[in-house]
Structure 1
Amino acid sequence: MADTITLSKPVADFHVHVRDGDMMKLVVPTIKLGGVSVAYIMPNLVPPLTSVADVLAYKSRLEAVDPSITYVMTLYLSPAVTPAVIHDAAKAGITGVKCYPAGVTTNSEHGVASYVPYYPTFAAMEEEDMVLNLHGECPSAGHIHLLNAEEEFLPTLKDIHTRFPKLRIVLEHCTSAAAIQAVKDCGATVAATITAHHLFLTIDNWAGNSFNYCKPVAKFPADKQALLDAATSGDPKFFFGSDSAPHPIVNKEKGNGAAAGVFTQTHAAAYVAEAFDQLGKLDKIEAFLCDFGRQFYKIREKKAEWSVVLKKEQNVVPPLLGNGASAVVPFKAGEKLNWKVEIVGL
């Protein structure tokens, strides 16, 4: 395999958390470092982004930090997101609506308890050709727990797809073989994102290590293999969404109740190259990182004035981004990677 890969266009990352305030100012400049020029921005701020005005104001704050990135924006599904809001959002250029089941992950307290009340909203989204982004887990209760919460959600995915067959749906950050199969079983309007970190992690890597803890949690070796197989398959249903999620180190070190999220933004494309290289599938990396997501989302973007080269060259992931208790620990902090991202033309 080649030791240098020049991508025909920069990476498009279809699941990005950058928070707000000081954390946003720290993290947004790292989007480009990972090779990314298109960032699909999650709306689970505090408070969540439930109005068109709030989303557009947030986009302006992001552009003030780095105007060269194409920020693709989303609303947070809540009772405030009515069909009328959907029509206004479409006119304003907002691309998607993120659905969080109530209480399953970071800042999901205002999330969904039942999907039935949102059927009119889904119908309006279908009409406007907007994308429904599903955090695919059921809340833990009774027989449902961390390890089966995603699989228990899959009938809901299939039900929404059956009711709204023209609605574009993305099952976010798949972690299980069952999720991969469910996406394959659905029609062409259903796709899925796969993160960089889930290409490496299993349950053994996060149990007792809060810096590898995210939601949905990484599962078993067979599940990791299913993700690797899907990501390297050349199937356009599967594309890159890092779910890079920065948390201050103080919130990751607090033991029980540690924040869910893995931060991968600074080395996004390098992590993926590492995983693909181990399988001898580097010929599939550009489609996964650059092409399939853009095609599914029908992206219109700013022309990047820079390009991305992946080089097989050892580099060490720094231990921290930022300083003090608010610093962020990157995925594989302190470890050596065999690939690095080089930005050309800046």
Structure 2
Amino acid sequence: MDMRSDEIELPAAFDAHVHLRDGEMSQLVTPTIRQGGVNQVYVMPNLIPPVTTVQQCLEYRGRLKAIEPDVDYLMSLYLHESITPEVVCEAKKAGIMGVKSYPAGVTTNSSSGVIDYETFYPVFAEMEKQNMVLNLHGEVPSTPSHAHSSTTANNTSAITILNAEPAFLPTLKALHEKFPQLRIILEHCSTAAALAAVRACGSSVAGTITAHHLSLIIDDWAGDPFCFCKPVAKTPEDRDALLRAVVSSEGKFFLGTDSAPHDRVKKRGEDKVAAGVFTQPYALGYVLDALSKGVERGVVKEEEVTMEVVEGFLGGWGRRFYGVEEKKGERIVLKRGKEKIVEVLKRDGVGGAEVVPFRRGEETWSVTWK
């Protein structure tokens, strides 16, 4: 593939990590899936209340289908104390693909999350038996600010948003060793350490990489709430490691945008900034832009950005890991610089929901369906 090309034709993409919310927000953002060149998505369950039963999950999928019927929605349950091996079996029979684990309190709508993973070993054993996917938000909660001085005094490192992901990696290793055939995805990898941890595991473990983490570093979100997400973007070295992983992983890593819409008031007008970057309508363009800049900086070589790599990262590798078939015949054409990113996404008939997309006002690749 020639990265200087102004037009690329690809199969429609698979996004292995999306937040589509519910109600008015879902009405606003769900139509942007196909706008962005994607026809299959893996949907996160952290609604309020979280999706913890098979019935809730199927009803949620029905609501999404009613908004945009031409998308395949792969569904997940929220790992919660009410999830049992019996629920796992029921979910498998209903066609639900996996279970998402959030450490308690680390990100949006995660207050019902996991405190002790060993408690769920019977659930993981049944998931392994049923060939379901365990999706891990790979961070641990931050050390409370009032405890920082005593933590240092006890010769243990305080946890902040900057080292929360590396601190989680021993848990990934332990889960893989305990359940070697369990399909595990370390979601939204943001550090070189996370990439190395995934690579050190067997073929049953993979990682997703977002579109925005391929571009952002600490300085970006420190000054712009619309670039703030969990896990936060890290150092330039971490960002460049992610770019190299895209072109060199041979399928170990694939696109999961973690596109997370929040009303713009919650991103800038309240006391606490909501964590999430909205990328859904433009995600493929963001990835291509990041790869182009990576080539310019010498982080990746132009000859490494092959059509096989681009098709694999944007869809093929994720589909292979999840065991889903590509929707044959659905193809897209991307054209460089032919799309201006809107300042605010809003739509008549869906209430007052307004979402600010990543890189608002800039240009990226347009998407048209063949």
Mark yes or no: TM-score above 0.5. yes
Please, which moves more after superposition, 80-89 or 306-315?
A: 306-315
**TM-score, structure 1 normalization:** 0.96
- The correspondence for 1:167, drawn from 166, 175, 182, is 182
Counterpart of 2:155 in structure 1 is: none
Partner SS, residue 135 of structure 2: strand
Counterpart of 1:222 in structure 2 is: 237
Partner SS, residue 232 of structure 1: helix
Counterpart of 2:30 in structure 1 is: 28
Counterpart of 1:292 in structure 2 is: 317
1:119-141 superposed Cα distances (whole Å, 9 cap, x missing partner): 00000000000000000000001
Please, which moves more after superposition, 254-263 or 15-24?
A: 254-263
Distance 2:235 2:79 in 1: 31
- 2:357 pairs with 1:342: no
Counterpart of 1:5 in structure 2 is: 8
Distance 1:225 1:154 in 2: 20
AA aligned opposite 1:87: C
- The correspondence for 1:243, drawn from 247, 251, 258, is 258
Partner SS, residue 63 of structure 1: helix
- The correspondence for 2:136, drawn from 134, 137, 156, is 134
Quote the offset at 1:232 in angstroms.
Answer: 1.7
Quote the offset at 1:309 in angstroms.
Answer: 1.1
- The correspondence for 2:359, drawn from 321, 325, 332, is 332
Q: Unpaired runs of 5+ in structure 1?
A: none
Please list, as runs of the form range in 1=range in 2, the aligned pairs for 1:154-233 lying within 5 A after superposition. 154-233=169-248
Distance 1:286 1:228 in 2: 15
Distance 1:256 1:147 in 2: 21
Counterpart of 2:164 in structure 1 is: 149
- 8 Å contact 2:28–2:353 — kept in the other structure? no
Counterpart of 2:346 in structure 1 is: 322
Please list, as runs of the form range in 1=range in 2, the aligned pairs for 1:119-130 lying within 5 A after superposition. 119-130=121-132
Distance 2:27 2:366 in 1: 23
Q: Give the 3 Å change call, closer, same or farther, for CA 260–304 of structure 1 in structure 2.
A: farther
Counterpart of 1:64 in structure 2 is: 66
1:207-236 superposed Cα distances (whole Å, 9 cap, x missing partner): 031100000000000000110000121421
- Size of the aligned set, in residue pairs, is 341
Distance 2:356 2:18 in 1: 16
Of all paired residues, the percent bearing the same amino acid is 52
Distance 1:114 1:150 in 2: 17
1:173-221 superposed Cα distances (whole Å, 9 cap, x missing partner): 0000000000001111000000000000000000031100000000000
**TM-score, structure 2 normalization:** 0.90
Quote the offset at 1:305 in angstroms.
Answer: 6.1
AA aligned opposite 1:335: E
- 8 Å contact 1:49–1:76 — kept in the other structure? yes
1:40-70 superposed Cα distances (whole Å, 9 cap, x missing partner): 0000000000000000000000000111100
Q: CA RMSD in A?
A: 1.4
- 8 Å contact 1:37–1:304 — kept in the other structure? no
Please list, as runs of the form range in 1=range in 2, the aligned pairs for 1:55-94 lying within 5 A after superposition. 55-94=57-96
AA aligned opposite 1:332: R
Counterpart of 2:299 in structure 1 is: none
Partner SS, residue 259 of structure 2: coil
- 8 Å contact 1:4–1:311 — kept in the other structure? yes
- 8 Å contact 2:77–2:100 — kept in the other structure? yes
